[in-house]
């Protein structure tokens, strides 16, 4: 299994917030990658890439050798090249797994795959978030406490403007009373997509064990079966093709 | 449109809680029926029935002349006759609408239609409940504030052991931090089912305008098109039946 | 209810096929509009527009005064202006209903709302199509025969690369053995979308009563409740906004 | 992984049809078990049980040591003891996987878990069945040809009266023109359920490689994660339980 953690890396580069280097010394991508390495099988290869890399680190060659991409973005969605987004989209439709994290609800790739505004309510006051499992039979919920308690987190609230998900796995509540569908899956083409909202540049959420476990479960679930990456295509079979 | 509000009526008969007669002088069924009459078209006929009625007020004749049943039960699920439950079930599968209210999550009719335990977490401390809309395009959400604020209500929390609903319309949060899928729809056979959790014998929730509006929306949505009530049946068509 | 039947109108303008004027003397849009007028309430306003109209007949003013758009396209998807597509999309996300017909599976508006390739298998040999109802409780299936028999139609077959629909209402089979999810609904934002595949420039399918009935049912179902058209938006509520 | 293939075994015991012993010398359960052994990992334990066994071979001890049950029944649904059905149901709700095969659409266990009549159309004239994949990203579709061609099979047609499935994976067409949702999944409680219709006492369908592969994929998908089998339960948490 070949996993690529993509992070725009802008908060880290700008040291904004100023103390981000304290809880994310290797960047959020570094923390996420380290968490995955703890929970995925030993032969899983976990690498990272950022916006500043050539082709944002998402060249055709890289994608052809990637099973699952995790995507974190916030301040620089607009700076992601449209051609790269299109390339990632084709790989997802052809079978590559995609995990969309937190503020990447507004990323080009997520909005393009979902077709909606992906808008939501938000408030950044460091509120407690409780993440409740509502589909315990789903592989992504395997071994996850009910609820996960996140001491301080940005609030994301409904209405979250997404299509009906294939599966609703987690619902969060916040100290202020809002709720959010915080763990949802989608299928687009042959690709499996998991959106998970906990995680932010201001709070060390990706250092939390249960969060790392959810992400590792998500990667395992989204990884395609071995085989060619094939975009669904038009065909024009003759009448008797089955004979 | 012919609507029947069914209530076991046991809390009312036993005056338990002692002050139930103050906020529900006509019983919960009376309050629910009055609320529906406010919001449904003038030609809608809204009647009530209780466990103590002959055949629980759910005779074959009554059901044949009913478009939508609302069901409230709590203390006496076991006293509902199995034959009556089976009869109601056949009407639902044949097209009759069904609204299942609050503690009727444990009613025989609901568990029999859903196939799961319908268990949940609960706590009765009069907590504030916020009811958030997550599918605003659904007719049941039409005109409903986001959120509905219920000052005091019993807490119902996840895991709510139900099958994946057709539509998830409302999610509630409670002051204690729990969340609950409080407004969900199901289709069984030709019948439409709406479960809505707000409403309890200890709090005047059914007197609240927004709750009445949700129930009226639910009745409108669940009402079948005019026509025969037909249970889905086995057929054995010959090969050439389409010619 | 204000309904707009949009057709690119290219097959009609080019008289391709040569006999299209025989079974569609007013164009496919004319036939569809006439069918709707038969089955919708008398006060429904049904108008038409084509690609050749200024702004393709889809100006901001027109859309603001439209409840449901039906969309037929095939030969000229690329000629539809991106700005117009974006405008239609915003109206759908804000609540306008959309019916997508036959070869419009490849229209810009449909692919943009769904996020997938929308590819499929096809064969144009005038095969019999049978349209089977699999969700009889859905308003769109109301009064529709099981199956609808279409004597001659282009074959559309799986794999139809769409996201899981909200509701699967119709499945078609073709004489050659293929199957197709021919009637499916989606919700995007506040808008309801119904895709229905029967209908083609070479066969008089839109003259068939049952097909007209399905489209009228679809329009009724997709029409929004009265009220403002509001695109889902980001909000940033203060902690105590509910007080 | 411990897999139990349950077959009522009545057709085999009665040699009805007379030649059943030719293509199913070990019974359908024997053929199904042999097929699973070919495609499941070497350490999978596959055993069989029939109606005639004590407690139908479904004692509490057996179920506690079973990860997935496959269920084939047809002529003797009524002879299955209600207490055994209840026991199997509790195990499914607690996490045990269940594959329901062909005519077991009418089994007590399936109807009890689904809540509908599970009725359908049928015709036994040995028609060709084509099984088309409509959700290629699902693990059960992994490696399965599109379509599977079954030379002779009983026709099962819509309307199949089931709740909306979690996932629709396969749709079949028959030579006579009918269609059927032949591969569908459900979740009930913590248990995963897969219904697959191909397979019959009169045709050697379970000897067909692709069918065996689908069943093996289904078993792998339905198998629970290791851990305790827990029926979802009511809880009554105090307000401050999270502190």
- What is the full DSSP assignment across chain D? -EEEEEE--HHHHTT-STTHHHH-TTHHHHHHHHHHHHHS-TT-EEEEEETTSGGGG--HHHHHT-SEEEEE-SS-GGGS-HHHHHHHHHHHHHT-EEEEEGGGGGSHHHHHHH-S----EEEEEEEEEEEEES-TTSGGGTT--SSEEEEEEEEEES----PPPSEEEEEEEETTS-EEEEEEEEEETTEEEEEE---BTTB-GGGSHHHHHHHHHHHHHHPPPSS-------B---TTTT-
Q: Is A22 helix (H, G, I), strand (E, B) or coil?
A: helix
Which of D137, D146, D187 to mutate: most A Cβ within 10 Å?
Answer: D137
Q: In angstroms, rounded to a whole number, what is the distance separating the alpha carbons of residues A192 and A69?
A: 11
Q: In angstroms, rounded to a whole number, what is the distance separating the alpha carbons of residues D232 and C8?
A: 55
CB-CB neighbors (< 8 A) of B240 in chain D: 176
Q: In angstroms, rounded to a whole number, what is the distance separating the alpha carbons of residues D165 and D180?
A: 13
Preceding amide of B17 cis, omega within 30:
yes
CB–CB of D156/D120 below 8 Å?
yes
- Please report the residues numbered 116 through 175 in chain D whose beta carbons come closer than 8 angstroms to any beta carbon of chain B: 116-117, 119-123, 125, 127, 157, 159, 161, 163-164, 166
CB contact under 8 A, D136 and A190: yes
Per-residue confidence (pLDDT) for residue B227, from 0 to 100: 82
Strand partners, D127: D153
Cβ count within 10 A of residue C10 = 17
CB–CB of D167/A115 below 8 Å?
no
CB contact under 8 A, B139 and C95: no
The DSSP call for residue A48 is E
Structure tokens at C115: 């996020």
Out of B224, B232, B242, whose CB is closest to C149?
A: B242
Which of C92, C128, C137 to mutate: most B Cβ within 10 Å?
Answer: C137
CB contact under 8 A, C171 and D179: yes
Q: In angstroms, rounded to a whole number, what is the distance separating the alpha carbons of residues D104 and D116?
A: 14
Preceding amide of D66 cis, omega within 30:
no
Q: Quote ipTM for the complex.
A: 0.96
- Tell me what the mean pLDDT of segment D136-159 comes to: 97
CB contact under 8 A, A112 and C116: no
Q: Round the average pLDDT of chain C to a whole number and report it.
A: 96
Q: In angstroms, rounded to a whole number, what is the distance separating the alpha carbons of residues C214 and C169?
A: 11
Per-residue confidence (pLDDT) for residue C165, from 0 to 100: 98
Cα angle at B125 between D230 and B204, to 5 degrees?
115
Per-residue confidence (pLDDT) for residue C240, from 0 to 100: 80
Per-residue confidence (pLDDT) for residue D226, from 0 to 100: 85
Minimum CA–CA partner of A171 in chain B:
B179
**Beta strand segments in chain C, E:** 2-7, 45-50, 68-72, 97-101, 121-133, 148-157, 167-174, 179-188, 191-196
Residue D243 has pLDDT above 80, yes or no: no
**Beta strand segments in chain A, E:** 2-7, 45-50, 68-72, 97-101, 121-133, 148-157, 167-174, 179-188, 191-196
Q: In angstroms, rounded to a whole number, what is the distance separating the alpha carbons of residues B130 and B141?
A: 15
Q: In angstroms, rounded to a whole number, what is the distance separating the alpha carbons of residues B239 and D178?
A: 10
Q: How confident is the model at residue D240 (pLDDT cuts 50, 70, 90)?
A: confident
Closest CA to C19 of C150, C204, C198: C204
* Alpha-carbon distance values, A235 to A100, C119, C160, C161 (Å): 32, 8, 11, 12
CB contact under 8 A, A116 and C189: yes
Out of A161, A188, A236, whose CB is closest to C123?
A: A236
* Alpha-carbon distance values, C212 to C37, C144, C199, D128 (Å): 9, 10, 10, 33
Q: Write out pLDDT tens, residues A116-129.
A: 999 999 999 999 99
Minimum CA–CA partner of A166 in chain B:
B164
Per-residue confidence (pLDDT) for residue B93, from 0 to 100: 98
Q: In angstroms, rounded to a whole number, what is the distance separating the alpha carbons of residues C135 and D161?
A: 9
Per-residue confidence (pLDDT) for residue A227, from 0 to 100: 82
Q: In angstroms, rounded to a whole number, what is the distance separating the alpha carbons of residues C66 and A175?
A: 41
Token pair 């804000």 is found at C94
CB–CB of B40/B3 below 8 Å?
yes
Minimum CA–CA partner of A136 in chain D:
D190
CA D202 to chain centre: 18
Alpha helices in chain C (DSSP H): 10-13, 20-23, 27-39, 60-64, 82-93, 108-114, 209-222
Determine what percent of chain A is predicted with pLDDT higher than 70.
Answer: 100
Q: In angstroms, rounded to a whole number, what is the distance separating the alpha carbons of residues C189 and A55?
A: 32
CB contact under 8 A, A158 and B130: no
Residue D89, φ and ψ in degrees, nearest 5: -60, -45
Q: CATH number of B2-115+181-222: 3.30.300.30, 3.40.50.880, 2.40.50.140, 3.10.450.50?
A: 3.40.50.880
Q: How confident is the model at residue A240 (pLDDT cuts 50, 70, 90)?
A: confident
User: Poorest-confidence range of A97-101, A104-108, A198-202, C238-242?
Assistant: C238-242
User: H or E segment at B89?
Assistant: helix B82-94
Determine what percent of chain C is predicted with pLDDT higher than 90.
Answer: 96
CB–CB of B40/B105 below 8 Å?
no
Angle between helices B209-222 and B27-39 (to 10 degrees): 70
Token pair 């164009």 is found at C27
Closest CA to D135 of D181, D95, D68, D187: D181
CB contact under 8 A, C190 and B135: no
Q: Bigger pLDDT: C230 or A58?
A: A58
Q: In angstroms, rounded to a whole number, what is the distance separating the alpha carbons of residues D2 and A142?
A: 19
Alpha helices in A54-180 (DSSP H): 60-64, 82-94, 108-114
Cα angle at D189 between B223 and D228, to 5 degrees?
170
CB contact under 8 A, B115 and D114: yes
Cβ count within 10 A of residue D242 = 13
CB contact under 8 A, D117 and B161: no
CB–CB of C138/C167 below 8 Å?
yes
What is the C-alpha radius of gyration for chain D, rounded to an integer number of angstroms? 18
Strands A167-174, A121-133: pairing is: antiparallel
Cβ count within 10 A of residue C188 = 27
Minimum CA–CA partner of C225 in chain B:
B142
Preceding amide of B88 cis, omega within 30:
no
- Please report the residues numbered 63 through 102 in chain D whose beta carbons come closer than 8 angstroms to any beta carbon of chain B: 93
Q: Bigger pLDDT: D97 or C240?
A: D97
* Subunits adjacent to chain D (3 or more Cβ pairs under 8 Å): A, B, C
Burial class, A202, CB count within 10 angstroms (exposed 0-12 / middle 13-18 / buried 19+): middle
Per-residue confidence (pLDDT) for residue A17, from 0 to 100: 95
Q: Is C234 helix (H, G, I), strand (E, B) or coil?
A: coil
Alpha helices in chain A (DSSP H): 10-13, 20-23, 27-39, 60-64, 82-94, 108-114, 209-222
Q: Write out pLDDT tens, residues B48-94.
A: 999 999 999 999 999 999 999 999 999 999 999 999 999 999 999 99
Out of D115, D186, D239, whose CB is closest to B123?
A: D239
* Subunits adjacent to chain C (3 or more Cβ pairs under 8 Å): A, B, D
CB–CB of C133/C147 below 8 Å?
yes
Hey, CA dihedral for D150, D151, D154, D159, is it positive or negative?
Answer: positive
Q: In angstroms, rounded to a whole number, what is the distance separating the alpha carbons of residues C88 and C97?
A: 10
Cβ-based neighbours of A150, under 8 Å, separated by 6 or more? A128, A129, A130, A131, A198, A203, A205, A208, A211
- Tell me what the mean pLDDT of segment C4-31 comes to: 96
Structure tokens at B170: 């409302």
* Residues of chain B under the 70 pLDDT cut: none
Residue A56 has pLDDT above 80, yes or no: yes
- B5 φψ region: left (φ > 0), alpha (ψ -120 to 50), beta (else): beta
Residue D212, φ and ψ in degrees, nearest 5: -60, -40
User: Poorest-confidence range of B28-32, C115-119, C178-182, C224-228?
Assistant: C224-228
Cβ-based neighbours of B28, under 8 Å, separated by 6 or more? B7, B11, B12, B72, B199, B201, B206
Closest CA to C38 of C211, C205, C216, C199: C216
Length of chain B: 243
Q: In angstroms, rounded to a whole number, what is the distance separating the alpha carbons of residues A170 and A197?
A: 10
Residue D49 has pLDDT above 80, yes or no: yes
Q: Domain locations in chain C? A: 2-115+181-222
């Amino acid at each position: 299994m070949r996993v690529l953690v993509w992070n725009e890396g802008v908060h880290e580069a700008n040291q904004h917030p100023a103390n981000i280097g304290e809880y994310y010394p290797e960047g959020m991508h570094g923390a996420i990658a380290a968490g995955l390495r703890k929970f995925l099988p030993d032969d899983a290869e976990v690498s990272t890439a950022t916006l500043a890399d050539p082709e944002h680190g998402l060249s055709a060659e890289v994608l052809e050798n990637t099973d699952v991409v995790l995507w974190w973005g916030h301040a620089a969605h607009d700076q992601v090249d449209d051609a790269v987004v299109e390339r990632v989209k084709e790989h997802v439709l052809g079978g590559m797994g995609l995990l969309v994290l937190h503020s990447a609800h507004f990323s080009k790739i997520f909005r393009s795959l979902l077709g909606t505004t992906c808008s939501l309510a938000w408030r950044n006051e460091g509120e407690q978030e409780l993440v409740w499992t509502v589909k315990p039979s789903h592989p992504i919920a395997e071994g996850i406490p009910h609820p996960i308690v996140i001491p301080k987190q940005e609030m994301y609230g409904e209405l979250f403007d997404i299509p009906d998900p294939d599966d609703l796995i987690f619902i969060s509540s916040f100290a202020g009373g809002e709720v959010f569908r915080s763990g949802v899956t989608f299928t687009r083409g042959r690709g499996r997509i998991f959106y998970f909202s906990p995680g932010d540049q201001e709070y060390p959420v990706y250092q939390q064990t249960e969060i790392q476990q959810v992400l590792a479960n998500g990667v395992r679930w989204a990884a395609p079966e071995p085989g060619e990456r094939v975009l669904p295509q038009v065909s024009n079979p003759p009448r008797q093709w089955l004979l």
